[in-house]
Structure 1
Amino acid sequence: MTATLEPTVPSTVDAAVTLSAVRKTFGHGPHAVTALDGVDLRVAPGEFVCLLGASGCGKSTLLNLVAGLDAPTSGSITLTTSRPAVMFQEAALMPWLTAARNVELPLRLAGVKRGARREKAGELLELVRLSEAGHKRPHELSGGMRQRVALARALASTLGSAEEGTPGLLLMDEPFAALDAITRDVLQAELVRVWRETGTAIVFVTHDVREAVRLGQRVVLLSSRPGRVVREWSTVDADEPAIVQDITARLREVISGHAAA
Structure 2
Amino acid sequence: MTAVIDASAVRIDSVSRTFGSGSHRVHALDNVSFDARPGEFVCLLGASGCGKSTLLGILAGIDQPSSGTVDVGGRRVGLMFQDSALLPWLTAGGNVALPMKIRGVPKVDRRSRVEELLALVRLAGLADKRPHELSGGMRQRVSLARAFAQEADVLCMDEPFGALDAMTRDLLHDELERIWRETGVTILFVTHDVREAVRLGDRIVLLSSRPGRVAEIFDVGLARPRRIDSPDVAALAVTVTDRLREEVGRHGH
Query: Does the CA-based 8 Å contact 2:50-2:208 persist in structure 1?
Result: yes
For residues 66 and 143 of structure 1, the distance between their equivalents in structure 2, rounded to whole angstroms, comes to: 27
For residues 172 and 18 of structure 1, the distance between their equivalents in structure 2, rounded to whole angstroms, comes to: 17
1:109 aligns with 2:94: no
1:187 aligns with 2:172: yes
Q: Equivalent residues in 2 for 1:120-199 (5 A)?
A: 120-158=113-151, 168-199=153-184
1:119 aligns with 2:112: yes
Give the structure-2-normalised TM-score. Answer: 0.92
Listed as ranges, the gaps of 5+ residues in structure 1 are 1-11, 160-167
Flag the structure with more relative contact order, 1 or 2, with Cα contacts below 8 A and sequence separation at least 6.
1
1:197-221, CA deviations, whole angstroms, 9 ceiling, x for partnerless residues? 1111100000000000001110110
Q: Secondary structure at the match of 2:138?
A: helix
Q: Secondary structure at the match of 1:158?
A: coil
Query: Does the CA-based 8 Å contact 1:98-1:134 persist in structure 2?
Result: yes
Give the structure-1-normalised TM-score. Answer: 0.89
Query: Does the CA-based 8 Å contact 1:104-1:117 persist in structure 2?
Result: yes
Q: Secondary structure at the match of 1:203?
A: strand
1:74 aligns with 2:67: yes
Letter aligned with residue 150 of structure 1:
S
Letter aligned with residue 162 of structure 2:
A
| 1:202 pairs with one of 187, 198, 205 | 187
Q: Give the CA deviation at 1:107.
A: 0.8
1:57-113, CA deviations, whole angstroms, 9 ceiling, x for partnerless residues? 010110111111111000001123453111111101111111111111111111111
Aligned residue for 1:237?
222
Structure 1 residues 249 and 193: alpha-carbon distance in aligned structure 2, compared to 1, 3 A threshold: same
Query: Does the CA-based 8 Å contact 1:36-1:58 persist in structure 2?
Result: yes
Aligned residue for 1:4?
none
Query: Does the CA-based 8 Å contact 2:16-2:31 persist in structure 1?
Result: yes
Q: Equivalent residues in 2 for 1:46-57 (5 A)?
A: 46-57=39-50
Query: Does the CA-based 8 Å contact 2:75-2:154 persist in structure 1?
Result: no
Matched positions, count: 241
Letter aligned with residue 196 of structure 1:
R
TM-align CA RMSD = 1.4
State the 4+ residue runs in structure 1 displaced beyond 6 angstroms.
Answer: none
Listed as ranges, the gaps of 5+ residues in structure 2 are 224-231
For residues 166 and 129 of structure 2, the distance between their equivalents in structure 1, rounded to whole angstroms, comes to: 25
| 2:200 pairs with one of 215, 228, 242 | 215
- Residue identity over aligned pairs, in percent, reads 58
Q: Secondary structure at the match of 2:237?
A: helix
Aligned residue for 2:29?
36
Aligned residue for 1:20?
13
For residues 111 and 131 of structure 1, the distance between their equivalents in structure 2, rounded to whole angstroms, comes to: 24
For residues 128 and 191 of structure 1, the distance between their equivalents in structure 2, rounded to whole angstroms, comes to: 8
For residues 155 and 179 of structure 2, the distance between their equivalents in structure 1, rounded to whole angstroms, comes to: 12
Q: Secondary structure at the match of 1:121?
A: helix
